[in-house]
């Protein structure tokens, strides 16, 4: 007999990277989990949810149906991708995410959802604080005066404000996480929406020994990376806390893209040469997280080292790339017969 479920939880974007890990964690904990998404990447082992809705959340009726009889809602659905994607695509990102975030909030209000979680981003922080490679971690109040470097960041910031307004005017209980570069297995690793750890793992995995990989920019740009299991722990701790303002969920270990690539190359055991594509998008020059607030309020900080997290990620992506090669249909070379 199946155990009685604790709370009824909706995870939007539950077919994607963070959403599917979160849904699995909540399902394993004994909650009734409904996932809603347009696509399911299929990387999680089933079962990781109780109910699956294949719906487009840019549609008002779908948001109403998805939030019906839910105690908690984690809204992670977004049209998003790594730096290449969010540098190139502006209007679609603002339109789609604006619709999803507006309809989801209003549907939660009308359906009297107990608590609403919004997945914001480090991309909301202003460009002028991220001009150097060696920078201080971004603190939550640093968001203002606002000047995000992408449309994606502007939309997230506007959505944060709408969440704040719903809390003030309608008493909707809310939580807001600003994720900083979450990485790990079972995320997008090809197709143009992958983030830098996944892209570098894939490039190294498909390169031969003594091969070459391309790095976007000069490789000196810096970031910090937070492993998926740590991000999920932080998300749940935030949701269970009394804290309703935006909070960073990320890591304070600043590395350059060169450092990141070198760690992955070492994990692979291959000898690889790095080449630099200076015309490729590279985003802000330096970005790090300050997680003092999360430490104080939640007692949370990441546990996984970058080396260990990247080993898990590399092994998963390498196996996927191998499976992709095996399952790819043989291509007949034109002109060779």
Fill in the per-residue mask, 3 to 42: x = in contact with ligand NAD (CB under 6 A), - = not in contact: ----------x-xxxxx-----------------xxx---
Residue 210, judged by CB atoms within 10 A of its CB (0-12, 13-18, 19+), counts as: exposed
**Site for ligand NAD contains 96 (CB under 6 A):** yes
Residue 294 has φ and ψ, to the nearest 5°, of -65, -40
Question: By CB under 6 A, how many residues form the interface with ligand NAD?
Answer: 26
Tell whether residue 78 is a contact of ligand NAD (CB under 6 A).
yes
Our CA dihedral for 34, 35, 36, 42, rounded to 10 degrees, sits at -150
Q: Can residue 195 be called a binding residue for ligand NAD (CB under 6 A)?
A: yes
Q: Tell me if 201 sits within 8 A of 317, measured CB to CB.
A: yes
Among 188, 222, 256, 288, binds ligand NAD (CB under 6 A): 188
Cα–Cα–Cα angle for 10, 26, 304, rounded to 5 degrees: 125
Instruction: Judge contact between 249 and 177, C-beta under 8 A.
Output: yes
Phi-psi map region of 42: left, alpha, beta (phi>0 left; psi -120 to 50 alpha): left
Task: Compare residues 111 and 270 and give the one whose CB is closer to ligand NAD.
Answer: 111
> Which residue's CB comes closest to ligand NAD?
16
C-beta closer to ligand NAD: residue 8 or 58: 58
> Would you say the C-alpha torsion 119, 127, 180, 272 has a positive or negative sign?
positive
- C-alpha closest to that of 236 among 15, 4, 33: 33
- The reply on whether position 140 binds ligand NAD by CB under 6 A is no
| 208 burial via Cβ count (<10 Å: 0-12, 13-18, 19+) | exposed
290 CB contacts (<8 Å, ≥6 apart)? 136, 137, 138, 139, 248, 252
Angle (CA) 250-253-257 rounded to 5° is 100
- Nearer to ligand NAD (CB atom), residue 53 or residue 272: 53
If one asks whether residue 84 binds ligand NAD (CB under 6 A), the answer comes out as no
Catalytic-labelled residue, pool 74, 152, 183, 189: 152
For ligand NAD, the binding residue among 67, 150, 167, 181 (CB under 6 A) is: 181
C-beta closer to ligand NAD: residue 2 or 39: 39
Q: How far is the CB of 333 from ligand NAD (least distance, A)?
A: 35
- Least distance (Å) between residue 231 CB and ligand NAD: 8
Residue from 182, 215, 247, 294 touching ligand NAD (CB under 6 A): that is 182
Task: Tell me if 248 contacts ligand NAD by CB under 6 A.
Answer: no
At closest approach, how far in Å is the CB of 81 from ligand NAD? 7
Active-site residue flag, 152: yes
* Shorter beta-carbon distance to ligand NAD: residue 17 or 272: 17
Nearer to ligand NAD (CB atom), residue 181 or residue 318: 181
| Rounded least distance, CB 130 to ligand NAD, Å | 15
Q: In this complex, which beta carbon is closest to ligand NAD, that of residue 122 or of residue 207?
A: 122
CA distances from 69 to 52, 112, 240 (A): 15, 8, 20
CA distance 218 to 257: 9
Q: Binding string, 48-67, against ligand NAD, x = CB under 6 A? A: --------xxx---------
Q: Each residue of 151-172: b (16+ CB within 10 Å) or e? A: bbbbbbbbbbebbbebbeeeeb
Alpha carbon dihedral 282, 154, 64, 12, in 10-degree steps, equals 30
Using CB under 6 A, which of 33, 35, 72, 77 touches ligand NAD? Answer: 77
Interacting residues toward ligand NAD by CB under 6 A: 13, 15-19, 37-39, 56-58, 76-80, 96, 100, 119, 121, 179, 181-182, 188, 195
Active site amino acids: 152
């Amino acid at each position: 007999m199946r155990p009685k479920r604790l709370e009824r939880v909706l995870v939007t974007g539950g077919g994607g990277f963070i959403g599917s890990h979160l849904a699995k964690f909540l399902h394993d904990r004994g909650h009734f989990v409904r996932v809603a998404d347009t696509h399911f990447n299929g990387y999680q082992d089933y079962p990781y949810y109780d109910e699956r809705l294949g719906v487009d959340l840019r549609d008002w009726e779908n948001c109403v149906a998805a939030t019906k009889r839910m105690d908690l809602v984690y809204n992670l659905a977004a049209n998003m991708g790594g730096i290449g994607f969010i540098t190139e695509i502006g209007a679609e990102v603002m339109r789609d995410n604006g619709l999803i975030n507006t309809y989801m909030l209003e549907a939660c209000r009308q359906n009297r959802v107990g608590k609403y979680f919004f997945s914001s981003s480090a991309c909301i922080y202003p460009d002028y604080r991220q001009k150097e490679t060696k920078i201080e971690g971004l603190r939550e109040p640093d968001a203002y005066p606002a000047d995000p470097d992408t449309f994606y960041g502007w939309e997230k910031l506007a959505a944060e404000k709408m969440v704040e307004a719903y809390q003030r005017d309608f008493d909707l209980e809310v939580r807001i996480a600003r994720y900083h570069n979450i990485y790990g297995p079972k995320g997008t690793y090809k197709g143009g929406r992958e983030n830098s750890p996944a892209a570098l793992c894939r490039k190294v995995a498909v390169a031969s020994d003594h091969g070459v990989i391309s790095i976007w920019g000069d490789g000196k740009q810096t970031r910090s990376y937070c492993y998926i299991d740590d991000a999920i722990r932080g998300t749940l701790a935030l949701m269970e806390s009394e804290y309703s303002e935006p909070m960073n969920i990320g890591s304070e270990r600043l590395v350059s893209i060169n450092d990141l690539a070198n760690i992955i190359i070492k994990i692979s055991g291959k000898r690889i040469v790095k080449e630099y594509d200076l015309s490729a998008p590279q985003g802000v020059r330096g970005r790090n997280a300050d997680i003092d607030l999360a430490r104080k309020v939640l007692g949370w900080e990441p546990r996984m080292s970058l080396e260990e997290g990247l080993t898990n990620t590399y092994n998963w992506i390498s196996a996927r790339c191998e499976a992709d090669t095996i399952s790819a249909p043989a291509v007949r070379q034109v002109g060779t017969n």
